[in-house]
Amino acid sequence: MLNPFGPHRDAHAPAREPAGATLVVRLDGDLVIATARDLHHRLRVAARRRDARLVVLDFAAAGRFDSAGVAAIALGQRQLARAGKRVELRHLGDHHRAALALIPTTRPAPEAVEEPAGLLERVGEAMLHLRGRWSQLVELIAETGRQTVAVVTRRRRLPAGAFVHQAVTLGVDALFIVGLLAFLMGMTMAFQGTVQLSRFGAGVYVVDLIGLSVVRELAPMMTAIILSGRAGAAIAAELGTMRAGAEIDALQAMGVSPVRFLVLPRLAALSVTQPALTLLATFLGMAGGMVVAAISLAMSPSVFVARIVERVELADYAHGVGKSLIFAWIIGLTGSFFGLSSPGNARAVGAATTRTVVVCVFFILLVDATFATVPALFGGGS
């Protein structure tokens, strides 16, 4: 049979009494957070032993307790009882008795789970002055970098489930609106394009016009502007409200980095969903153009698609998607910055939200203009 006590074989070898039905588990050393996992394991193994009827927990050599040790013993006692074993505690010191008295005697059955009240209900009152914005922003970016490294090197984890939750609320839930607006934008572009180009008999070039402008400029920018209003504002409002409820103070006081706990999951979610949404917008924008081309130029969809494949290169897609990644970081960091540095009252949360959208759109257009002009000025690409 598998040795249940692993490295503790000698110190903790189960001493069986003549009756053959008693298992003595000797607890030695401190029963604290650092050793609770091990203790939990030993008691679970003891509960699985078929040959023992009576399990004796011997505290003669046990040292200090903390709540983790008490919890492990409480849990072990219940598991042993469920396995049909009698449990006896021997050589308890007064200190042990006092600590074990922490174990609740009754475990009330949980009632039905109730719905939480909205986050915005708990908006606080204190107003702090905003100052040192710039150094705060630099600090946020630096801390984001540090925590990203810590998470990537597996020294720290993101909170469980946070990435998926954020990816769904910030990205997946925006699928419909981004898709619809991209489709309409493609249609509008195509209408304008056909009207102008047909005057020169160059109607067919509407495909090039739509293909290139949607892939390189319009899809990344439309998506970014929609997400500024949607995701950026949501991040600022949520973090601003958490600031108001002193939740962020609480995290800091616990020694948990608010950036890792709150900002990283949102940034990571946007970094994945925004390029994906941009690609979706690209294809739906082209589809919108294709519909208009089919109606007003009687161009068959297969011709349209063939020409797109011919004229739009992989580098154009990379340009658009790469830009969208930068836009994602602008949105995530701006929202987090204004949210985290919000002084924490209802009006401040509103101001943080508004400012986030304005600043996001400004920087998105600025970066976009830089991307469009700098390579051209220096003789590169486009």
C-alpha distances out from residue 381 to 209, 216, 315, 321, 361, Å: 17, 12, 10, 16, 25
Q: Which two tokens stand for residue 160?
A: 């469980």
Q: Taking the complex as a whole, how short is the minimal distance between the CB of residue 70 and another protein, in angstroms? A: 7
Residue closer to another protein by CB (options 232, 344) is 344
CA distances in angstroms from 217 to 79, 264, 317, 321, 369, listed in the order given: 62, 27, 10, 10, 10
Collapsing DSSP to helix, strand or coil, 30 comes out as strand
> 9 or 37, CB closer to another protein?
37
Q: How far apart are CA 339 and CA 247, in angstroms?
A: 12
Beta carbon of residue 255, minimum distance to another protein (angstroms, whole number): 4
Which CB atom, from 332 or from 344, has the smaller least distance to another protein?
Answer: 344
**In sequence order, which residues have a C-beta less than 8 Å from that of residue 259 and are 6 or more positions away?**
140, 143, 144, 147, 336
Chain residues in the site for another protein (CB under 8 A): 33, 36-37, 40, 65-68, 70-72, 74-75, 98-99, 102-104, 106-111, 113-117, 119, 121-122, 124, 143, 146, 159-160, 242, 245-247, 249-250, 252-257, 261
328 in Cβ contact with 269 (< 8 Å): no
Judged by DSSP in three states, 256 sits in coil
Cα separation, 299 vs 293, whole angstroms: 6
- Which CB, 49 or 156, lies closer to another protein? 156
Identify the CA nearest to 207 among candidates 231, 189, 181.
189
Q: Residue 103 or residue 294: which is nearer to another protein going by CB?
A: 103
- Provide the minimum distance between the beta carbon of 89 and another protein in the complex, in angstroms, as a whole number: 17
Of 8 and 146, nearer to another protein (C-beta) is 146
Nearest residue (CB) to another protein, 74 versus 92: 74
Q: Could you tell me the smallest distance in angstroms from the CB atom of residue 216 to another protein?
A: 39
Nearest distance, CB of residue 133 and another protein, angstroms = 17
What is the nearest approach in angstroms of another protein to the Cβ of residue 225? Answer: 28
Distance (Å) of CA 266 to CA 213, 263, 363? 29, 5, 19
Q: How far is the CB of 105 from another protein (least distance, A)?
A: 9
